[in-house]
């Protein structure tokens, strides 16, 4: 771990990881929505483990084991933080899943890996993430005073739990990270169309009023490889309510990864006929 310039604790803190890599044929790095944490993808770990997929869930600064670290202020800053780990975790073929803000981060990480001449993800899966080619599709709110910011987030996504709103102490802890995430999203570079060279699958919530299927289809402009659009039942946070459908798509797309699947995976029914 010394080559990373990180302690074991610092390295572990960047990604929540519970699956033994000795049983995996591929790795899935997951990146959460604004205000989210690595805990969002904990239910995926065991379900994808049986498919031979090793799940690593990103932990943003200011949350979980990283509570004492200042929040990231830009998507580029997020990307460099996680790149310190991903550069050294290329022992297995891998894919990225990013939800909402996490999709922009996954896209930025892919661009950076390609720019550095490192192995990029074999597949990029986006959930409810507005493609940069559309520009910033919502008004900026990160600069608003606390009360106005909370109202704007609630109106847009119903994104602040009632339990947090009712506890001023919890709200004081929660808001800085959420505000920083919104600022990172709003200030993401959308000045020109950048493309990756791996396949992209875009997942759109059937009832997502903010980022519908028509918008998600424009992710096709951001890849030189194959593009697929899937409609998932639910609103902006469908990855939780329709987890089975999302994980089914993840398994399907990761089967396209050109690696020899182990025998147990073939017996489990997750290989193509």
**Residues known to be catalytic:** 100
Contact in structure between 26 and 52 (CB atoms under 8 Å): yes
Give ∠ CA 24-264-269 in degrees, rounded to 5.
105
Place of tokens 């580029």: 76
* Sheet of strand 94-99, all strands in order from the earlier edge strand to the far edge: 15-17, 53-58, 26-31, 94-99, 123-127, 200-205, 227-232
Q: CA 113, CA 223: separation in Å to the nearest integer?
A: 15
Enumerate residues 6+ apart whose C-beta is below 8 A from 201: 123, 124, 125, 126, 227, 228, 229, 230, 249, 253
Q: Which two tokens stand for residue 62?
A: 């200011």
**Rounded to whole angstroms, what are the CA distances from 239 to 44, 117, 129, 184, 206?**
10, 32, 12, 22, 12
| Nearest CA among 103, 116, 178 for reference residue 144 | 178
DSSP codes joined into one string, 139-183? ---TTS-HHHHHHHHHHHH--S-HHHHT-HHHHHHHHHHHHHHHH
């Amino acid at each position: 771990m010394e080559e990373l310039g990180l302690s074991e604790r610092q390295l572990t803190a960047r990604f929540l990881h519970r699956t033994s890599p000795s049983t995996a044929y591929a790795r899935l790095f997951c990146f959460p929505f604004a205000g989210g944490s690595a805990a969002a993808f904990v239910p995926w770990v065991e379900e994808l483990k049986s498919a031979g997929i090793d799940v690593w869930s990103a932990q943003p600064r200011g949350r979980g084991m990283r509570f004492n670290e200042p929040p990231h202020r830009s998507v580029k800053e997020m990307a460099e933080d996680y790149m310190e780990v991903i550069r050294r975790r290329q022992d297995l073929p891998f894919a990225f899943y990013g939800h909402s803000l996490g999709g922009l981060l996954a896209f930025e990480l892919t661009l950076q890996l390609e720019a550095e001449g490192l192995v990029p993800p074999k597949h990029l899966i986006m959930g409810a993430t507005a493609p940069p080619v559309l520009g910033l599709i919502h008004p900026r709110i990160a600069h608003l005073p606390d009360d106005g910011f909370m109202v704007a987030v609630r109106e847009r996504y119903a994104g602040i739990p009632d339990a947090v709103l009712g506890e001023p102490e919890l709200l004081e802890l929660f808001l800085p990270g959420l505000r920083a995430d919104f600022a990172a999203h709003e200030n993401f570079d959308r000045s020109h169309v950048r493309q990756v060279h791996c396949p992209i699958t875009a997942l759109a919530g059937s009832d997502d009023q903010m980022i519908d299927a028509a918008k998600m289809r424009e992710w096709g402009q951001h890849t030189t490889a194959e593009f697929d659009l899937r409609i998932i039942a639910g609103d902006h946070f469908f990855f939780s309510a329709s987890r089975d459908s999302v994980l089914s798509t993840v398994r399907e797309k990761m089967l396209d990864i050109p690696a020899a699947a182990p025998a147990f995976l073939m017996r489990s029914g997750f290989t193509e006929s």
